[in-house]
């Protein structure tokens, strides 16, 4: 009898596990993935948002170039594209899974080897905030998600 109960318990556990893994919440529209998975895993579990890291100088002189490198703190996600000035009024944003373009986003940033590269020459002194960046990621199961990121930088006047 104990063996029978053990077998029933194991079978029930396996069937529940398979049922959860068979759920697929990723949706497509006209061959593009809807960007509805930003906070969910493919099976409905909570998606753990990765830390975003930035490498740059602490400060820069007015007119000098500031080079900023942005990357993810997790190696199970690929950083595939990044954009500025995305239209927040797009009702159902999608991503083209072959070109990595997001609907409503037009100004792309340079992405190389899972790193966003930004170079610019600040023109006024003080603490400045960079425009919001929309980061497109892809996980190992080919699910695309977006993250929002911005950062501050300090610009010092020439003496």
Residues 83-129: pLDDT tens digits?
A: 999 998 898 899 999 999 999 999 999 999 999 999 999 999 999 99
Q: Identify the bridge partners of residue 84 per DSSP, sorted by sequence position.
A: 107, 133
- Reference 151, options 55, 74, 83, 72; nearest CA is 55
Least-confidence region, from 8-17, 25-34, 111-120:
8-17
Domain ranges of the chain: 24-156
Residue 18: pLDDT band (50, 70, 90) is very low
| Model confidence, pTM | 0.82
- CATH code that applies to domain 24-156: 2.60.40.10
For residue 9, the model assigns a pLDDT of: 56
Residue 19 has pLDDT above 50, yes or no: no
Beta strand ranges found along 13-114 (DSSP E): 28-29, 32-34, 52-55, 59-61, 66-72, 77-84, 94-95, 107-108, 110-112
- Other C-beta atoms closer than 10 Å to the C-beta of 109 total 15
d(C-alpha 105, C-alpha 10), whole Å: 49
More confident call, 52 vs 4: 52
């Amino acid at each position: 009898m104990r063996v029978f109960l053990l077998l029933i318990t194991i079978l029930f556990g396996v069937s529940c596990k398979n049922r959860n893994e068979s759920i697929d919440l990723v949706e497509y529209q006209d061959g593009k993935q809807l960007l509805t998975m930003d906070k969910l895993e493919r099976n409905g579990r909570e998606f753990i948002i990765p830390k975003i890291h930035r490498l740059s100088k602490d400060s820069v002189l007015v007119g000098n170039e500031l080079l900023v490198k942005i990357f993810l703190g997790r190696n199970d996600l690929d950083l595939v594209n990044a954009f500025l000035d995305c239209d927040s009024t797009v009702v159902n944003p999608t991503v083209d899974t072959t070109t990595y373009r997001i609907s409503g986003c037009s100004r792309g940033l340079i992405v190389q080897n899972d790193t966003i590269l930004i170079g610019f020459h600040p023109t006024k002194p003080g603490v400045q905030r960079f425009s919001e960046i929309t980061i497109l990621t892809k996980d190992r199961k080919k699910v695309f998600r977006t993250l929002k990121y911005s950062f501050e930088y300090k610009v010092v006047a020439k003496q």
